[in-house]
Structure 1
Amino acid sequence: MDVRTETRLTTTSRDGTRIAYWRSGEGPALILVHGATADHSRWETVLPLLEPHVAVYAMDRRGRGHSGDAADYRIEEEGADVAAVVEAVADATGGPVDVLGHSYGGLCLLEAMALTARIRRAVLYEAGAGVPTEPGLADELTALLADGRREEVVSELLTVAAGVTPDQLASMRTLPSWPNRVAAAHTVVREVRAHDGYRLRPERFGSLAVPTLLLLGADSPPSEAESTAAVAAALPGARVVTLAGQGHVAMLTAPDLFTAEILTFLRRST
């Protein structure tokens, strides 16, 4: 039986924060940028499907896992973190690289696309750009965190903001990555507030020629469709693929479909 191996690497972002990322698999480079409450381990359900085809570089975003953090938080620095990993991997592999960002990680990837020319192709899965969360959610999460109810912070974000169903949430709780989500609960409030304050400025991206796949769950909240349409209008090289019967976490609910769409896009865009 094959045993997975992964290697931890690090790079330094522009503000001096150390960012860790994990390499596994063989083939062209694909950087994975996770969303809120997670770390690089959230990709556990799809790594076995990706690794035979691509060399995966899965980030720990700042404030969790083996990555560092900074006293002040700005989403622009998260974009710089992604760009720093892109530059490091491109240097190591000798060419531009592909990047996949999910949810808030997709928003970080969008920011990175304006910072580096070494992204060859991009996949954004429901980045949520320009569409705020439910009114009062950030304050509710702040109160839960202050009370030490970290697991409720994670559950509330997933169900209210991401539309995760009770069955999907129960499944997520059984995964080895769940304790890492709870450990990252302190990052949730700052990301929700940054997300709610984010303004998509199409003029920043109009000159980009990066082929981009925008994944959208057919069963996701309407806000995700609204956001995806706005991002599609801002990125000249973007096309939207809707995942039938899926919501915000298709890597969990339909890993074969999820990876097939990504690999098909990467092959057709070569």
Structure 2
Amino acid sequence: MRRIDANGTSIACEVSGTGAPVVLIHGAEADHSMFDAFGALLAEHFTVVAYDQRDSGGTRNPPLSYGLTEMADDAAALIAALGYERAHVFGTSLGGVIAQVLAVRHPARIDRLVLSSTFRAGVPPLSINPDAFPRLAALRAGLPGTAAEIATFFFPVAHIAAHPEVVDIFNGTSRTAEQRQRRAGILAQAVACDLAAITAPTLVLVGADDRLIPPAHTLSLARAIAHAQTATLPGLGHVATLQAPDVVARAVIAFLKTRSGGNDHVDAMEGIARAS
């Protein structure tokens, strides 16, 4: 792990591979380690930067509230501090929301953009899936006995049955109470994010079996972003980079390495999904 001072924050990050840089932005309850297997596959083709957000993993930030604006500025500052003019960006779940704001606020820092299993910046998740989020809150209050049910919102049931160890992911957290409180307030902070302002070539990627963020909502982002492409990966849930890192990596690598756009590329991405 490296430590980079950027935007008033000491950011812990792992850099691996060679080639064009790809910055990976993790989900709300994770840290950079959710990309260990996925990042290793990308590192065969790119320089992969997996970092910990504020109040996550090894990153150290001021004990002040913050929102998506500050987190997007962190990512832009990290890209610059590592010596890159611009980078590809992959964001999943909350990381995808941060990536949207990053692409709007710092367009010159983005080469290509992948938004995975995410939701529109400025839209409360409760309004997207009003059944799941209250249930998750109740289940988290009952940990550790409820970890198995929590897992079903992130992984398909069949995957959990074949890999029961994934339940352990949800048994606890390394964050302090203060860190959890600041993280819980991220989406309460006002943010301006006009998706029509995104100029980077964009892929919107979903797992067909996502129970947390409905795939139709994630795919709707593509209608607001000029020339955005979409790919649906069958059989995958919300944390597809953990469930099937090889499948997601193939789709992402194909997008990042393809310079032509249009419907042919969308068909190619769907072909990758079907073949997987």
Q: Give the alignment's TM-score, normalised by structure 2.
A: 0.76
Alpha-carbon distance, 1:127 to partner: 1.3
Alpha-carbon distance, 1:253 to partner: 2.2
Alpha-carbon distance, 1:269 to partner: 2.8
Residue 2 of structure 2 corresponds to residue 12 of structure 1: no
1:72 to 40, 65, 70: 65
Aligned residues: percent identity? Answer: 28
Residue 58 of structure 2 corresponds to residue 56 of structure 1: no
Counterpart-to-counterpart distance in 1, 2:182 and 2:145 = 16
Give 3-state SS (helix, strand or coil) of 1:183's partner. coil
Residue 249 of structure 2 corresponds to residue 255 of structure 1: no
**Match for residue 119 of structure 2?**
128
Greater mean alpha carbon deviation, residues 228-237 or residues 33-42? 228-237
CA 1:229–1:25: 2 relative to 1, 3 Å: same
Counterpart-to-counterpart distance in 2, 1:37 and 1:222 = 13
Q: Counterparts of 1:179-194 in structure 2 under 5 Å?
A: 182-184=173-175, 186=177, 191=183, 194=186
CA 1:127–1:185: 2 relative to 1, 3 Å: farther
Counterpart-to-counterpart distance in 1, 2:79 and 2:171 = 24
Counterpart-to-counterpart distance in 2, 1:255 and 1:32 = 13
**Match for residue 4 of structure 1?**
none
1:43 to 25, 35, 48: 35
Deviations 1:162-197 (A, max 9, x none): 4654853833246xxx499721375556545544x5
**Match for residue 82 of structure 1?**
75
Q: Give the alignment's TM-score, normalised by structure 1.
A: 0.77
- Unpaired runs of at least 5, structure 1: 1-6
Contact 1:214 1:238 in 2 (8 A): yes
Deviations 1:199-222 (A, max 9, x none): 8966x2323220011111111138
1:211 to 176, 194, 201: 201
CA 1:167–1:244: 2 relative to 1, 3 Å: closer
Q: Counterparts of 1:60-209 in structure 2 under 5 Å?
A: 60-69=52-61, 70-89=63-82, 92-93=83-84, 95-116=85-106, 117-129=108-120, 130=123, 132-133=125-126, 134=130, 137=133, 141=137, 149=143, 158-160=151-153, 162=154, 165=157, 167-168=159-160, 170-173=164-167, 178=169, 182-184=173-175, 186=177, 191=183, 194-195=186-187, 204-209=194-199
Contact 1:34 1:102 in 2 (8 A): yes
Greater mean alpha carbon deviation, residues 247-256 or residues 55-64? 247-256
Counterpart-to-counterpart distance in 2, 1:156 and 1:125 = 23
